[in-house]
A and B are shown apart, each in its own frame.
Chain A
Amino acid sequence: MLKGLRQRNQANAQASRTSITRRTLMLGGAQVAVVAALGLRMRHMQLERADEFRMLADGNSIKIRLIPPARGLIYDRNGLLLAGNEQNYRVTMTREDAEDVPGELAALRRLIPMTDEEAAALLEEIDRRPANAPITLADRLSWEQFCSVSINTPALPGISPEVGLSRHYPHGADFAHVLGYVGPVSDYDLSKLENPDPLLRIPRFQLGKSGIEAKLEDELRGKAGQRRVEVNSAGREMRELSRREGDPGVALQLTLDARLQNFAMQRLAGESAATVVMDVTNGDIMAIASAPSFDPNLFVRGISGADYTALMENDHRPLADKTVQGVYPPGSTFKLVTLLAALEAGVIGPEETVYCPGYVTVGGRRFNCWKHSGHGRVNSVFSLEQSCDSYYYEVSQRVGIEAIAAMAKRLGIGVKHDLPMSAVAEGNAPTKDWKLKRYGKDWLIGDTINASIGQGYVLASPLQLAVMASRVASGRAIAPRLVRARDGVEVPAPEASALDIDPRHLAVARRGMWAVVNGSHGTAGGSKVVAEEWLMAGKTGTSQVRSAVVNNKAVPWIQRDHALFICFAPFDAPKYAVALIVEHGGGGSAAAAPIARDILLFALAGGLPPLSAYPSAQRETIKTRFEALDLIDPAQFAAPTRGRA
């Protein structure tokens, strides 16, 4: 029996050992894996992250600091820099790290000049801001000042000299309205945002405040980088642990031509005026100038009270962007709309005439033509050439305001164009409904008559007039655009479909515009272009500021008529269109057309136009005028690198 038991034991033991060995190997494998994991974890924590933990252990702390990205650069169509970034040396103070705020500020004032008021304002700001937020005490320091502060930092805890980037507009006032400007983030800016980018929490971080800078802020801003830094108990950075650079903002290339813009600004100088130059083939805005202007760099630095008051009190309103924001009665330039609406409705044929006795009486009320002696029999082309009011008084009654308003919208008036600029105005192409809604009054026939010559309720911005000129010139639904390329990648020009207007009617309108400039009785006959390849066509406009027409010279500036002119060239193959307004300039033919001609020729010539393009009698005057201009040298603005920088 013992033998049997022993045998069973032997067999049992054998099976047991095999099983145990197999299971032990499995368990052993698992144990090895766990031990390996523990070892790797030790290695990770004690070798790879040792510095970080050592610092935490030493009572130091690691802080994450944002690296502000370089704001996207802005170029003109030829690669000239319009908005760049420059080094800015500044000094900041963090209250929680400072020992004696007033004392240190006093010490700093021995190194950097600062008025008593500025110092008091800074002390107030330091008290108001969170203790851990750095406050900029002084910026735009010279290199010498910056060095003197840097040398003294050991004696000034909490104060740190920093190098940052600051926006700079090399062309100054020339692009102030279209580009806009940046300024330090305000509490108001932050309050408008649902979930602000942490970058905006950086004190004095520059944010687009108006124009393209504001409208394309998201693209231009770029993405913040991050630095993990070791900070000692005094708040001073000991060293950088890691650094991840941010992405600079998108580099924008605009459709604008800096030289043309500069020329336009120079030609508008002294006036309260605005002009828009468009490429009629693709909608590129070549220049968009509003005069007088202001230096946007003043706003970047923080404009002084005196400068700001001067800008606000100037009756020429330098801060207003008259190109897209300003709306004016378009005056006789609007006759193109009325004519096209009438031709389309068939209420008058191109050759059909209307008799002008110098006035039209409707419902017992007398509407005067500007030529009191009357034009006699007037057909469509002659009505434009002579800008005969009576013709339009008559045809507008036949066609009605609704058709005129619809035509205005097709030509781009009373429509809000999509441009990245501030406060782009919609203008107004009035209808019966509009008046009822707006004023609660019925539309009167007199309203139609006023609207037919671009007075009354009709309002258009220079941009809209330029769009109208481009559409009439090209016969296509050209839409304005400002951005030509992003980061070197061209933005395709939107496909412009043919206008839904009979091309024959458009040809009539163009012929009329040709006659305005080149006809024997043209209202802009004094602004002829004699160069065959650049023949110009246009339309003058004089819009009344007051109801009664008086001698413009005899009334104060602010009561004089606005002078308008729209034009395009070359007549046979239109390339550029210009719309121009001189506020309170008097007549369109005298005040607006000559400037518009110069600008149009500059665009066509790609530089100062040759005197041979002008009628010989005018060449001397033109020459003197050009010589008085102080134009930019493009080489001065050549960007160091194209694309991202």
Chain B
Amino acid sequence: MSYLENNLKTIPTGPTKILFLNWPLIFLLTAVAGAGFLMLYSVAGGNLETWAEPQMKRFGVGIVAMIAVGMTPIWFWRNVSGVIYTVALLLLLAVEFFGDIGMGAQRWLDLGPVRLQPSEIMKIGLVMLLAAYYDWLPTEKVSSPIWVLVPVTLILMPTFLVLTQPDLGTAVMLTLGGGFVMFAAGVSLWYFGTVIALIVGLVATVLESRGTSWQLLHDYQFKRIDTFLDPAADPLGAGYNIMQAQIALGSGGWSGRGFMQGTQSHLNFLPEKHTDFIFTTLAEEFGFIGAFGLLTLYAGIIAFATYTALSTKDRYASLVSLGVAGTFFFFFAINMGMVMGLMPVVGVPLPMVSYGGTAMMILLAAFGLVQSAHVHRPR
């Protein structure tokens, strides 16, 4: 029994709910998606059909799905959280055995008309289940070890499956997204501190081992670390992608070269120009104004979702909104950090902009959860 079910009289009912949606959030998401359409049109060399049109159609479907999810009471979603998580986990297992291989990794599940990426569903399913878990768990127990072990297991199971695909980007996203919800739910800071300290210690040990008799990584793996730290050291080798991305990005200057005028992306200097590296095209063509504008839109989306999370009194609604916002945040922060050379290259797309139907639809559906939390809150 959630708090909201006991305060129903203040909740709008029926089709009028549509008026109570978090409309600024919808506008922001549409604006970001619009920027994505422009960029996909541009990188396709002015061709609408290649990437922009399918993306627009999926956006249409996604927006409808978001509103539908948003009109459905939030406690319904709480009740099906476990189901969604379990289905996603089974699908991940299915990918393991029957999955298609795309881009050198098993990610896709072909279900006749629909090609599914279960890992995308899992990103949301995990956030939902964790939110439901913490809604159920009395607050005084969140930090006791046994009750911390449960969500950690829930996070590690899909993470491990994704890692074997192998898909490092998604694995990182799952861990960070799950950890984000745990943090929001109030799990003691000691746990987080310990984990961070362990990771730092491990990294330091690995780096320290270089050149010694107990070296923990192969030389070529250290070489990759070097390349990350200084891409210019190996501009024609492993540093190529990142160097080219930075050149494209930096050459945009203040106002960019203008729409469709980006030289780097059109000359195919850029790898994966329509997916993970699409931000460089945007930055090259629209310059600092465009890139910073996009960053502002993203920040706005996070702000409105966080506002929803704080304005509802329901624990599940709060946590799921924060979890969705956090996942979204990690998407764009990691992607931008990666193309700007602040982070190693891991495969994380730019949310709502990179080409990729399932990812965008699922993300929009996830924002439907935020909408539902927004609509179904006491006033």
Query: Which A residues are within 8 Å of any B CB, using their own CB?
Result: 5-6, 9-10, 12-13, 15-17, 19-21, 23-24, 26-28, 31, 34-35, 37-39, 41-43, 45-47, 49-54, 56-58
A10 to B248, CA, bound (A): 55
Whether A24 contacts B306 by the Cβ 8 Å rule is yes
With a cutoff of 8 Å between Cβ atoms, the chain A residues found around residue B292 in the complex are 39, 42-43
Asked if A13 contacts B251 (CB within 8 A), the reply is no
Q: Does B20 contact A (CB under 8 A)?
A: no
Q: Is A12 a contact of B139 with CB atoms below 8 Å?
A: yes
A50 touches B254 (CB 8 A): yes
| A24-B322, A27-B183 known, 12 other contacts, Cβ within 8 Å | A12-B139, A20-B184, A37-B342, A38-B333, A41-B340, A43-B288, A46-B249, A53-B247, A56-B247, A57-B247, A57-B250, A57-B263
User: Are B184 and A27 in contact (CB-based, < 8 A)?
Assistant: yes
Instruction: Indicate if the CB atoms of A13 and B249 lie closer than 8 Å.
Output: no
Cβ-closest chain A residue relative to B319: A20
Chain A residues in 8 Å Cβ range of B180: 27
Is B45 part of the binding interface, using a Cβ–Cβ cutoff of 8 Å?
no
A–B complex contacts, Cβ < 8 Å, 20 sampled: A9-B3, A12-B139, A13-B313, A17-B318, A24-B306, A38-B295, A38-B337, A39-B295, A41-B340, A43-B288, A45-B246, A46-B291, A47-B254, A52-B250, A56-B251, A57-B247, A57-B251, A57-B264, A57-B284, A58-B263
In chain B, positions 1-34 with a C-beta closer than 8 Å to chain A are 1-3, 6
Q: How far is the CA of A619 from the CA of B150 in the complex (A)?
A: 117
B138 at interface by CB-CB < 8 Å:
yes
Shortest distance from the beta carbon of B32 to any chain A beta carbon, whole Å? 15
B253 x A47 contact (CB < 8 A): yes
- Nearest-neighbor residue (CB-CB) of A32 within chain B: B299
Interface-central residue, B1, B184, B251, B322, by most chain A CB under 10 Å: B251
Question: B313 touching A24 by the CB < 8 A rule?
Answer: no
With an 8 A cutoff between CB atoms, is B186 at the interface?
Answer: yes
- Contacting residues of chain B (241-257) with chain A, CB-CB under 8 angstroms: 246-254
Q: Which residue of B lies closest to A13 (CB)?
A: B3
Q: Is B336 an interface residue (CB 8 A)?
A: yes
Chain B neighbourhood of A51, CB < 8 A: 253
Residues of the B chain whose Cβ atoms lie less than 8 Å from the Cβ of A16:
139, 315, 318
Please tell me if the beta carbons of B1 and A34 are within 8 angstroms of each other in the complex: no
> Within B335-359, which residues are at the interface with A (CB < 8 Å)?
336-337, 340-342
CB pair A31 B302 closer than 8 Å: yes
CA–CA, A318 and B261, complex, Å = 71
Chain B residues near A37: list those with CB within 8 A.
342
B66 within 8 A of A: no
The answer to whether A42 touches B318, judged by C-beta atoms less than 8 angstroms apart, is no
Residues of chain B within 8 A of A12, CB atoms compared? 138-139, 315
Inter-chain contact B295/A21, CB cutoff 8 Å: no
Pairs of residues from A and B, 10 with the lowest C-beta to C-beta distance, nearest first: A53-B250, A57-B251, A50-B253, A46-B288, A19-B186, A45-B250, A54-B251, A53-B251, A16-B315, A56-B247
Q: When A20-B184, A20-B315, A42-B288 are in contact, do A50 and B295 touch as well, CB less than 8 Å?
A: no
Q: What residue of chain A has the Cβ atom nearest to residue B3's Cβ? A: A13
Report the minimal beta-carbon distance from B314 to chain A, rounded to whole angstroms.
7
Name B's interface SS: helix
Contact B6 A9 (CB under 8 A): yes
Expressed in whole angstroms, the Cα–Cα distance for A17 and B314 within the complex equals 8
| Shortest CB distance B232–A (Å) | 10
- Does chain A have a CB within 8 A of B326? yes
Q: Which residues of A contact B240 (CB under 8 A)?
A: none
State whether the Cβ of B362 lies closer than 8 Å to any Cβ in chain A. Answer: no
Minimum Cβ distance to chain A for residue B248 (Å)? 7
Q: Report chain A residues within 8 Å CB of B319.
A: 20
The answer, yes or no, to whether B121 is at the interface (CB within 8 Å) is: no
CA distance A31 to B299 in the complex (A): 9
A13 interface neighbour in B310, B315, B329, Cβ under 8 Å: B315
Flag B129-167 by CB within 8 Å of A: 1 or 0 each.
000000000110000000000000000000000000000
User: Interface 1/0s, chain B 276-317, versus A by CB < 8 A?
Assistant: 000000011001100110010011001000100110011100
Determine the distance from Cα of A21 to Cα of B311 in the docked complex, in whole angstroms: 10
With a cutoff of 8 Å between Cβ atoms, the chain B residues found around residue A15 in the complex are 139
Name the distance in Å between A57's Cβ and chain B's nearest Cβ.
Answer: 4
- CA gap between A5 and B1 in the complex, in Å: 9
Measured CA separation A24–B322 after assembly (Å): 8
- Measured between beta carbons, the chain A residues less than 8 angstroms from B310 are 20-21, 24
- The distance in angstroms between the C-alpha atoms of A34 and B298, with both chains bound, is 12
Note all chain A residues with C-beta closer than 8 A to B247.
53, 56-57
CB within 8 Å for A31 and B288 given contacts A9-B1, A41-B340, A49-B250: no
Determine which of A20, A26, A53 lies in contact with B318 in the assembled complex, contact meaning CB atoms within 8 Å: A20
Report yes or no: B329 in contact with A31, Cβ–Cβ below 8 A.
yes
B250 CB to closest chain A CB (Å) equals: 3
0/1 per residue, B176-210, Cβ < 8 Å to A? 00001001111000000000000000000000000
CA distance A34 to B2 in the complex (A): 34
In the complex, are the beta carbons of B333 and A34 less than 8 A apart? Answer: yes
Residues on A with beta carbons closer than 8 Å to the beta carbon of B246: 45, 53
Q: Could you tell me if B183 and A42 are in contact, using CB atoms closer than 8 angstroms?
A: no
Min CB gap A632→B, angstroms: 56
Give the residue of B138, B184, B248 whose beta carbon is less than 8 angstroms from that of A24.
B184
Contacts of A31 in B (CB 8 A): 302, 329
A20 and B138 contacting across the interface, CB-CB below 8 Å: no
Residues of B within 8 A of A53 (CB): 246-247, 249-251
Output the nearest chain A residue to B329 by Cβ-Cβ distance.
A31
Chain A residues contacting B313 (CB-CB under 8 Å) are: 13, 17
Give, as a whole number of angstroms, the nearest-CB distance from A445 to chain B: 69
